[in-house]
A and B are shown apart, each in its own frame.
Chain A
Amino acid sequence: MIGQTLDHYRIVAQLGEGGMGVVYRARDEVLNRDVALKLLAQGALEKVGRGHLLREAQTASSLSHPNICTIHQVGQTGDDFYVVMELIEGRSLSDLLTTTGLSMEIVTRYGVQIADALAHAHDRGIVHRDLKGSNVMVTAEGRVKVLDFGLATRMEREEISELTLSYDTLESKLVGTLPYMSPEVLRGHKADHLSDLWAFGVLLYEAAAGRLPFRGNTGFEVTSAILREPPPPLPPTVPHGLAAVIQRCLMKEPPERYQRASEVRAALEALQGAVLQSRHPSEETRGPRTLVLRGMEHLTVKNGDVLLLVGTNKGAFLLRSSRDRSKWDVAGPYFHGQGVYAMAYDGRNGRHRLWVSTNSLMWGTFLRSSDDFGRIWTNPLEASIRFPIESGAALKNIWQICLGRAEEPETLYCGVEPAALFESRDGGESWSLVRGLYDHPQRPRWMPSNGGLFLHTVVPDPGKRERMYVAVSAGGVYRTEDCGNTWQARNSGIRVVFMPEKYPEFGQCVHKIVLHESRPERLFLQNHWGLYRSDNCGDSWQDIARGVPSDFGFAMLMHPHDADCVFILPVESDEFRCTPEGRLRVYRTRNAGGSWESLERGLPQQGAYETVLRDAFSTDSLDPAGIYFGTRSGKLYASRDAGKGWKKILEGLPQIVCVKAAVIQMDGAPAARPHAKGKPAAKRKTPRMKSVRRGNRR
């Protein structure tokens, strides 16, 4: 078939073979795009009749859902009957399965998407009938796509017997189906949405346990297990809640299962724990209530949009704007009541992942992520960032989430309190303490600053893989030249005011360091008193505080396109940590610290005693650059012309501790899922400004 053309589709390569036929990669010569083309097997056609199959495919082509593979066209030339579908680059769930099962996070993350796809199709009267691991694709971004909705033929009783009898000799393309078949279908009943939910239960079991629930050496053994045996207990590593969901999907009697895919989705979402909530308030007559946030409006993010991640000491907010950055949609608060000191957007490797650290005064600090712009957040059962038990240390907070270099898309760093650096090499799944720094002989002599003793800044050298800088309050700047194995204090020339020795080797209370990727050897530094530049990778530092109202401050920002341009937000003094003279001014140098100028157009110049904390200052990558900062008093300011003019885009937030901006680049379809349908359970009031509209309308 390769090289041949069907209608205007040129067959390029074979992608796979399934029970219904062979799938090819093809080029749509009219629309100039690559598609998947399934050429249906003649046997399948004869069995069900062309007319029937055509109707089924047409019905399935009406489905439009981000987790369902879109059918573009159903066609026929001569004897050939084919279905043209969206080409999905990724791996099937069966390929991803491991013998030990996937993590709870992954199982629920994929499970929610599959359940959403099923709910969408079932609502439209379309049953899958052949849901199995090989029919579920996972893209590089972690998005699930269910294939072949409605394309499976209905099996007659005799065919099932045949399938059972010949199980051990069958071609693999059919073997895949039997272990997912429900008891009622095996008894000859028509497959319906409840048998889809059974198959979904088998899929979840398989994903969580790494093995099928109903197995056997022969088809009889498999069918007998399906009809009569309870599924074997899941491994103890599978959490109780997930096991309960799977068990209910695998009830032998259909009325005992979940009755709707949306119920399974809700149960899985509850496990993900996007938001804390009490689902059965009646159970609790007096106890505390948490608001149900399921109905919170979420952002719909499109290609090219600018996203602002805003962390406060009482939760996180997300803002979205188109490229013109004139109007902002607001969603939140997420994790209400919890401190969110670190956020990051990871768009490497086709991902669209938000990272956030949540710090509950009571229940500890957890690193969480969302792949759909905040609709669903992971909530790990076990903290992924934890000090080794022998260290005796306990995580207090995560202050910084830093992406590794672009060429190391699976690398992430976290700077934490008590001061330490953690590293992940698998995209944030697992983390380890960087021992070279933690075991540094100087560490015991680092001193806590006002906010504690913490590592708040991580700067990988963009040019040299082995080199990285961190800043600790109060320990100073440390540099590694060997990927983190050994670290050297790099504070020569940086003054301290709180020790008798003014220029010690370490112990400086450094607040922020920045560099520009085009000049990685040159660093700028905002100190606890003092502005500095180093032209030699931190070996020595020069004072550059000429022409600023105060050289005290927390935040410092590098211009994204100009290596000589740095922004700061001066604070009056150590004792009065507010803007000097009650004037909110950003200061900018355009000659690498030779001189500084005030940027104040649009910023309040009277009675504005504000503080901008070290991570509440960010820039996007557009030109002219957008610059954003948030204040301790909960106001968010933005400039869309690199600081010339400013506008308050939001106020009334809790104390802002973190602002991160990102420009969202997507290939193909929008990555954000459509928002929940139906009436929101409880709408949250979101602070608004005249230029701000509420999130998520379309």
Chain B
Amino acid sequence: MQVVFNIPGPLREFTENRSSVRLEVKAGADLREALQVLFAACPGLRDRVLTESGEIRRHVNIFVANEDVRYTGGLATAVRGGAEISIVPAISGG
């Protein structure tokens, strides 16, 4: 199945400046597996989206089909074919 990843501006230097990346992931994949496919295609993204211990960075929000995955099971959130997965920096700063 195909999913579309929406990439925020600061990370597009790792996606050849593409704002979205469409990739084939295996049917029934969860968010963790889908992200692995993305990270394999665009290696710079992994360490910027996840910490080295494998968690989503605190000020990064990931949405699957407009739902914040913090409320839908985190990296275990199910991903359906055609879904849009959006990586979005949180509103925070100092």
Contacts and interface: CB of A to CB of B under 8 A. Distances in A.
Contacts of B81: none
Interface of B: 8-14, 16-17, 19, 40-44, 46-49, 51-55, 57, 59-60, 89-90, 92-94
A610 B6 CA distance: 44
B53 A362 contact: no
B13 A362 contact: no
Interface in A278-311: 278-280, 283-284, 287-290
A392 B52 CA distance: 8
A362 B59 contact: yes
B74 to A, nearest CB: 15
Contacts of B57: 362-364
A459 interface: no
Instruction: Name which of B12, B14, B48, B59 has the most chain A CB atoms within 10 A of its CB.
Output: B12
Contact of A383 (B12, B47, B60, B89): B47
Contact of B10 (A271, A276, A393): A276
Contacts of A270: 13, 17
Contacts of A362: 10, 48, 57, 59-60, 89-90, 92
A288 B57 CA distance: 20
A283 to B, nearest CB: 6
A552 to B, nearest CB: 24
A383 B52 contact: yes
24 contacts: A239-B42, A240-B43, A241-B13, A241-B14, A276-B10, A276-B13, A278-B12, A278-B17, A280-B17, A284-B9, A284-B19, A287-B9, A287-B19, A288-B8, A289-B9, A362-B10, A362-B89, A381-B43, A382-B43, A382-B46, A382-B47, A386-B47, A386-B52, A394-B55
Interface in A187-239: 236, 239
A363 B53 contact: no
A283 B60 contact: no
Instruction: Name which of A280, A364, A386 has the most chain B CB atoms within 10 A of its CB.
Output: A364
A595 interface: no
Contact of B52 (A279, A361, A395): A395
Nearest to B6: A287
Give 6 nearest A-B pairs by CB, closest first.
Answer: A394-B51, A386-B52, A363-B48, A381-B44, A362-B89, A273-B13
A61 interface: no
Given A277-B13, A363-B60, A379-B13, A389 B19 contact: no
Interface in A151-173: none
A389 B44 contact: no
Contacts of A287: 8-9, 19
Given A389-B53, A393-B53, A394-B51, A363 B10 contact: yes
Nearest to B18: A283
Given A240-B42, A387-B52, A364 B9 contact: no
A248 to B, nearest CB: 11
Contacts of A284: 9, 19
Nearest to B88: A362
Contacts of A389: 52-54
A588 B43 CA distance: 50
A244 interface: yes
A361 B92 contact: yes
Contacts of B89: 362-363
A369 interface: no
Contacts of B49: 363
Contacts of B52: 383, 386-387, 389, 394-395
A387 B40 CA distance: 21
B16 A241 contact: yes
Interface in A239-263: 239-241, 244
Given A276-B10, A363-B11, A364-B51, 17 more contacts: A236-B40, A240-B42, A241-B13, A270-B17, A276-B13, A278-B9, A283-B17, A284-B19, A288-B8, A362-B10, A362-B57, A363-B89, A379-B13, A382-B43, A392-B53, A394-B53, A395-B52
A313 interface: yes
Contacts of A361: 59, 92-94
Contacts of B40: 236
Contacts of B44: 239, 273, 379, 381-382
B8 to A, nearest CB: 7
Contacts of B41: 240
Nearest to B41: A240
Contacts of A288: 8-9
A290 B51 contact: no
A283 B19 contact: yes
Contacts of A313: 94
A271 B13 contact: yes
A623 to B, nearest CB: 40
Nearest to B51: A394
Contacts of B60: 362-363
A280 B13 CA distance: 11
Interface string A385-418: 0110101111100000000000000000000000
Nearest to B10: A276
Contacts of B48: 360, 362-364
Contacts of A392: 53
A277 B53 CA distance: 28
Contacts of A244: 16
Interface string A353-379: 000000011111010000000000001
